[in-house]
Amino acid sequence: MFATPFNDRDGYIWIDGQIKPWRDATDHVLSQGLHYGGSVFEGIRSYEGNIFRLHEHTMRLKKSAELLNFKISQSVEEIKDVCKEMLFLNGITDGYIRPIAWRGSERMDLSMEGCTVHCAVACWEWPPYFDTQSGIKLFVSRWRRPGEDFIPLQSKTAASYCMGTLAKTEADNAGYDDAVMLDPDGYVAESSASNIFIVVNGVLKTPKSESCLNGITRQTILQLAKDMGLKAEEDNITPEDLLSADEVFVTGTAAEVTAVIQVDNKKYKYGQITKQLQQAYVALTSDALVLNQAA
């Protein structure tokens, strides 16, 4: 997917208030965030130079840190300005922006007391994550998402993506595009890094936010469905519900809106509701006025 390694690129990265050449944007190997999962991040897309839902993503970055009991010193507006500056300096119009914050190397144990908090923003050109035209194939993974009493689910923390990397690698090795992950109670939670929607008898359904990250694209699709007059529900979804659905699709900053054409051995049609919501999302992200207001 990416031909050039991420440690050896031209361009610029903002880190702790300084703009550095890409290859010089480094931190110490004994940072606590690297060893004990003490980092939070965002993935944000830009379309034709306009950053989609920048304010919402930046607010969530700050909230994610608070849920992990640390504070990012930069304000929401400061981080937003840096995201725009990095996009400009790197000459990117259609790309992906990665703000990240992590705990430093002042101590190497499980207590975060006294650790500094670092913050960085990088961006790069972003090829399609999935084939949004043909659809993707998923399988139900043996790896599960943790419950809210295991980790703060609404914190977009690197720690919670460990299971996702295991599930995605397992899917790749099995010849699928991605994995369906269940929650501790056996209900459908999300994919390795995307939210899941199903359509049953014309009704749009998605897992309750108590079992998954309440993604910003997820929220956007629920609002678009409401605007289009579609019935949409947040509910517990069993694997049997998933396999008996009429349509399935996934959503996320990377995935955007991507149809699912197969889960395990069950195949699905690329249905009309999926197409309608996909078209509405593309129209929304192409609307410069809406994008600038959202940013």
Angle at alpha carbon of residue 279, lines to 161 and 286, rounded to 5°: 80
pLDDT tens digits, residue range 153-192? 999 999 999 999 999 999 999 999 999 999 999 999 999 9
Active-site residue, selected from the candidate residues 156, 205, 231, 267: 156
At residue 84, the pLDDT reads 97
Tokens found for residue 35: 């060893």
| CA angle, 3 then 119 then 42, to 5° | 60
pLDDT per residue over 6-41, tens digit each?
Answer: 999 999 999 999 999 999 999 999 999 999 999 999
Q: Is residue 137 among the annotated active site residues? A: no
Type of residue numbered 187: Y
pLDDT at 273 over 90: yes
Q: Give residue-wise pLDDT tens across range 109-136.
A: 989 898 999 999 999 998 778 877 789 9
List for the chain the helix, strand, coil content (%; round to 5): 30, 30, 40
- 128 CA to centre of own chain: 14
Separation of alpha carbons 191 and 56, rounded Å: 22
Torsion of CA 184, 187, 193, 196, to 10 degrees: -170
**Residue 102: per-residue pLDDT:** 97
Tell which wins on pLDDT, 56 or 293. Answer: 56
- The pTM (predicted TM-score) of the whole model is 0.93
Residue range 205-258, pLDDT digits in tens:
999 988 899 999 999 999 999 999 999 999 999 999 999 999 999 999 999 999
**H helices within the chain, ranges in order?**
32-36, 54-67, 76-89, 162-173, 216-227, 239-243, 272-286, 288-294
Domains of the chain, start order:
12-125 (3.30.470.10), 136-286 (3.20.10.10)
| Distance (Å, whole) CA 163 – CA 171 | 12
